[in-house]
Structure 1
Amino acid sequence: MAHFVTRMIQTTRDEENQQLMTVWPDIIHDVTKAIENFNIPDVAKWMEKVLQYNVPEGEKIRGLRLIYAYKLLAPNDQLTEENIRLARILAWCVELTQAYFFMIDHIEDRTFFRRGQLCWHEYNDLNLAAIDDTFMLYSSIFYLIQKHFKEKDCYVNLIETFQDITMKSAIGQSLDLLCTNFGKKPNLDMFTMNQYTSIVKYKTSYCSFILPIIAAMQLAGIKDQEMFKEAKTILLEIGCLFQVQDDYLGSYGDFEICGKNNNDVQEGKCTWFIVVALQRVTPEQRKILEECYGDSDLEKIEHVKQLFNDLNLLDTYFTYEEEIYNLIKVHIKQMSSGLPHSLFLTILWKLYHRMS
Structure 2
Amino acid sequence: MVIPRLDVAYNKKRFLAVFPVVVEELLDSLRAESMPEEIIEWYRRNLEYNVPGGKLNRGISVVDTVEILRGKLLEGEEYRKAAILGWAVELLQAYFLVADDMMDASITRRGQPCWYRVEGVNNIAINDAFMLEGALYRLLKQHFRKDSYYTDLLELFLETTYKTEVGQLIDLVTAPEDRVDLSKFSLERHRLTIVYKTAYYSFYLPVALAMHFYGITNPEQFALAQKILIPLGEYFQVQDDYLDCFAPPEKLGKIGTDILDNKNSWVVNVALQHVTPRSARFLTRTTAARIVNVSRG
Q: TM-score, normalised by structure 2?
A: 0.92
Distance 2:120 2:286 in 1: 30
Matched, 1:232 2:226: yes
> Alpha carbons of 1:75 and 1:106: their partners in 2 closer, same or farther (altered >3 Å)?
same
1:49 to 45, 49, 55: 45
Matched, 1:63 2:54: no
Aligned length: 292
Identity of aligned residues (%): 33
Give the partner amino acid of 2:289.
Answer: D
Contact 1:50 1:133 in 2 (8 A): yes
> Alpha carbons of 1:249 and 1:102: their partners in 2 closer, same or farther (altered >3 Å)?
farther
1:116 to 111, 124, 128: 111
Aligned partner of 1:156 in structure 2 is 151
Between 236-245 and 9-18, the greater mean CA deviation after superposition: 9-18
Distance 2:60 2:222 in 1: 19
Aligned partner of 1:9 in structure 2 is 4
Distance 1:184 1:79 in 2: 49
Residue deviations 1:220-250 (CA, integer Å, cap 9, x gap)? 1001111111111111111011111221233
Contact 1:115 1:260 in 2 (8 A): no
List alignment gaps of at least 5 residues for structure 1.
300-356
Give the partner amino acid of 2:227.
Answer: T
Matched, 1:249 2:235: no
Contact 1:268 1:295 in 2 (8 A): no
> Alpha carbons of 1:260 and 1:143: their partners in 2 closer, same or farther (altered >3 Å)?
farther
Contact 2:3 2:71 in 1 (8 A): no
List alignment gaps of at least 5 residues for structure 2.
none
SS of the residue corresponding to residue 295 of structure 1 reads helix
Distance 2:251 2:54 in 1: 12
SS of the residue corresponding to residue 16 of structure 2 reads helix
Matched, 1:85 2:60: no
How far has the Cα of 1:97 moved from its partner?
A: 0.8
Give the partner amino acid of 1:233.
Answer: K
Matches within 5 A, 1:92-131: 92-124=87-119, 126-131=121-126
Give the partner amino acid of 2:262.
Answer: G
Contact 2:116 2:123 in 1 (8 A): yes
Q: CA RMSD for the aligned pairs?
A: 2.0
Matched, 1:31 2:26: yes
How far has the Cα of 1:263 moved from its partner?
A: 2.8
Contact 1:114 1:260 in 2 (8 A): no
Residue deviations 1:284-316 (CA, integer Å, cap 9, x gap)? 1122122223431799xxxxxxxxxxxxxxxxx
How far has the Cα of 1:192 moved from its partner?
A: 0.9
How far has the Cα of 1:253 moved from its partner?
A: 3.9
> Alpha carbons of 1:32 and 1:294: their partners in 2 closer, same or farther (altered >3 Å)?
farther
2:164 to 169, 183, 192: 169
Give the partner amino acid of 1:55.
Answer: V
Between 226-235 and 250-259, the greater mean CA deviation after superposition: 250-259
Aligned partner of 1:353 in structure 2 is none
